[in-house]
Amino acid sequence: MRSATEDMVGNDAWRLYQHFIGSVSPDCKYRRTNVEFTVGGEVFRYVGQHVITKGFTSILPWLAVSEKNLPQFTKGERINIAKVELYEMMVYYIDYWSNFYVLTPVIDASILKLA
């Protein structure tokens, strides 16, 4: 048996074929690592993900888990901070997009549906 191509079966049938093959494929397995550390009394958290087996995501790549690799840490390990950066930005309020103008059409549509 050979696998089909999109040209052989057409666009809609190809999507159905992909989903069927994905549904009978093995599970995607990945390891999730949570890291929490404290610097100067502030708590920071980061989550890493490492794919062990791609499984069905090799057939359906838009469902793939993104890799977020972390260095190896041990609990209680002390790490030197090499660099600290502070970014400061100003947020500007655009007055002509006030809540009144944004929410008025939504409220009007809701009232019409209730009537």
**Alpha-carbon distance 18 to 58, whole Å?**
11
**Alpha-carbon distance 53 to 68, whole Å?**
15
Overall average pLDDT of the 44-70 stretch: 89
pLDDT-based confidence at residue 111 (cuts at 50, 70, 90): low
Express as a percent the part of the chain with pLDDT over 70: 78
pLDDT at 54: 92
Q: Tell whether the model's pLDDT for residue 71 goes beyond 60.
A: yes
Q: Tell whether the model's pLDDT for residue 110 goes beyond 80.
A: no
pLDDT-based confidence at residue 101 (cuts at 50, 70, 90): low
The answer for residues whose C-beta is within 8 angstroms of residue 43's C-beta and 6 or more apart is 36, 37
* Global confidence as pTM: 0.55
pLDDT at 13: 86
**Alpha-carbon distance 52 to 49, whole Å?**
10
The upper half-sphere exposure of residue 90, i.e. CA atoms within 13 Å in the direction of its Cβ, equals: 3
